[in-house]
Structure 1
C-alpha cells in the first residue's frame, strides 16, 4: 500500500503513557538504540545534516525524544570523520533513560551530554540552547498540531531543526516492523549493552518488551508523516519564507529515511 492510500492514524503507542513501567520502556529504547547502531540507519542523511550545519553555522546538536541515545552515537561517528569542528550534542527526552544516556556519554568520550530532567519537544524550555535542534525517530509521536508547533517554535527562535524518521509508510515497512523486528529481538537481545537481567526477563520469560515493541513499531508506520505532510506543515508556519526547507527521502541498503531540515536563509546583502 502506497503512502497516498495509507492515511495517517494516530493510534496509541504504549511507551507514550506516563504509567508505563520504566524497566519496560528502557528495554525498548535500549534495543532500538542497539538496532540503530548495528544497521547505521541514518548514514544516508549525514550529507544533508552536515550541509545544514555548515550553512547555519550551528554545530551543537540539541536532541529531543532521544530514547536510548543510539542515534547520536552514529551521527557523531560520521560527523567527526571529516570535520574540523568539535562535535557536541545534548540528549533529552520526556522520559529520560538515564542509564542509557550515561552509557552514550561514556562511549562518546564526553562529546555527548544529556538532560536528566524531562524535556517536552512540543514545549521546549525557554533556556533550551539554540544550537541545531534534532529529532531522530520521534516526530511521529506528536499529533499534527504539536508537530507543526515544534517546527514553528524553531522558526520563531531562529533555530535550525532536523527531523529524521528511519522508516517509510508502506505495507513492506509494517512487515519489517513486526515479523522481522520480532525475530531480531529474540536473537540479538543478549548482545544489547549495558547488560540488564531485567531485559532478558521481560524478553524471554515474560515477553512484554517484544510485544510492546512490535505494537509500537506497527503504530509508528501508521503515525508517520510523509514528505507531503511535512511540506503542508511548513507552508502554514508564519515567517516560513525566511527559512530554507529541505524535505524528502534518503535511501540506504535497509530502507528509507524521511527527513525535514530547516534553517534561516542567509541575509541578503544590500545592493
Structure 2
C-alpha cells in the first residue's frame, strides 16, 4: 500500500557542515550499532545479517559480483555484512542444513561442489573516512577501500574495471543512504549505473514512511539511553555519556534525523519511477533489461524492519 505521507526531501541535522564533526562521528557510530547489534531474545538477527541473507537469496550467482558501497560513511554496516555473508558461504556453514536433513547425500554433494572464493567488498564515499576504513579492512582480507573521493553519480570507469577483474560484475550498495539524494541526484546515480557503471544495485533502509517507521525511531532513541554506557566503554569516549545524559544532543539528533529519514525514504514504486525517467541510454529497452525485487524483512518485533530493493540485469 502507498504510504499516507508523501515523500518530503527535508533536512537532517547531522548533514549540516556546522554540526560538530565529533558529534557526527558519534551519530554515525550509533547508526552503525543499530545495523550490527543483535539483542538475544528481542532480535532473531541484526539488520546487517538480514542484508547478507537477502543478497545470498536474491543473487544466485553471488560469487560473480564485487560489492561496492558508494556511501560508506564511517564504514557503516558493510564490514558486518561482508563478515556475515562470507561466513554463511563457508563449507561448514553452507552444508550444515544439508547435513542435518540429507545425511546420506551430504558427503557426495560436498565432494562435487568446488570451493568458492570469498566475496569481495569495497568501501567508497564522496568524503572518504580512510582511517576508519583502514581499521575495518585490517580485520578482513575481503574488505578493501578507495582513498580518493568517489561520486556515485560519476563513478570512474577505471575504478570499476579495477574491481571487476577476472570477469567480476559490480553490485552497488546503498545502506541507509539512498534517501539522502534528491530526485535529480538519484536519477543521475541510477543513470550512471544503467549506462555501464554496474550490473546491479541494492537499496537497504531501516525506516519508511509509516507509523511503524516513526515508532521505530523513537524506540531507537530509548535504546541510546540504555546502551550508551556500553558503547562509551567500547569507543573509549566518556564524552558520549555527557552528550547522552547531561546534554542529550545525541538521542535528540538520532530521533529527529530518523523521523526526517522516514519522510525522505522512497517506496519501491517511487524508485522504479526514477529508474524509468533517469535518461539511461537505450531508453525503455535498456530498462527492460533490469529486474527489480523489493520487500521488507523484520529484524525486531514489532516495528524493526529492513526495507530493501535489489535490482540486477536479467
Does the alignment reach a TM-score above 0.5?
yes
Is 2:226 the partner of 1:187? yes
For the residues of structure 2 that align with 1:147 and 1:171, how far apart are their CA atoms? 25
Highest Rg: 1 or 2?
Answer: 2
Deviates more, 1:50-59 or 1:168-177: 50-59
- The reply to whether residue 214 of structure 1 matches residue 280 of structure 2 is no
**Cα deviation, residue 229, structure 1:** 0.9
Is 1:67–1:93's contact at 8 Å kept on the other side of the alignment? yes
Q: Give the TM-score normalised by the residue count of structure 2.
A: 0.74
**From 71, 80, 83, the counterpart of 2:86:** 80
Would you say 1:262 and 2:301 are equivalent positions? Answer: no
Greater relative CO, 1 or 2 (CA 8 Å, sep 6+): 1
In the TM superposition, what whole-angstrom CA distance separates every residue of 1:197-248 from its partner, at most 9, and x where no partner exists? 4433333333322222221111000001012212222233432112222233
More deviation in 2-11 or 20-29?
Answer: 2-11
Shift of 1:99: 4.4
CA distance in 1, matches of 2:148, 2:13: 21
2:174 is equivalent to residue 135 of structure 1: yes
Residue in 1 that maps onto 2:13 = 14
How many residues are matched?
Answer: 262
Match of 2:185 in 1: 146
Hey, what's the Cα distance between the residues in 2 that align with 1:176 and 1:74?
22
Secondary structure, counterpart of 2:67 in structure 1: strand
Contact residue 120 and residue 142 of structure 2 kept, 8 A: yes
* Structure 2 counterpart of 1:43: 49
| Alignment pair present for 1:29 and 2:28 | yes
Task: Look up the match of 1:89.
Answer: 121
State whether residues 214 and 259 of structure 2, in contact with CA within 8 Å, keep that contact through their aligned partners in structure 1.
yes
Contact 1:70 1:104 (C-alpha < 8 Å) held by counterparts: no
Matches of 2:65 and 2:239, distance apart in 1: 37
Residues 1:156 and 2:195 aligned together: yes
2:288 paired residue number = 241
Partner in structure 2 of residue 165 of structure 1: 205
TM-score by length of 1: 0.85
Q: Distance in 2 between matches of 1:127 and 1:162?
A: 22
**Deviation string, structure 1 residues 239-260 (Cα, Å, up to 9, x no partner):** 2112222233333434322222
* Map of 1:114 onto structure 2: 145
1:163-201 Cα deviation digits (max 9, x unpaired)? 1112232122212213x1221112212323433344333
Pick which of 83-92 and 193-202 moved more. Answer: 193-202
SS of 2:172's partner is: strand
Q: CA deviation at 1:97?
A: 3.7
Would the alpha carbon gap of residues 146 and 156 (structure 1) be closer, same or farther in structure 2, given more than 3 Å must change?
A: same
Shift of 1:157: 1.3
Does the C-alpha gap of structure 1 residues 93 and 21 become closer, same or farther in structure 2, counting only changes over 3 Å?
Answer: farther
- Contact 2:208 2:266 (8 Å CA) reproduced: no
Distance 1:31 1:103, change over 3 A: farther
RMSD over aligned CA atoms reads 2.5
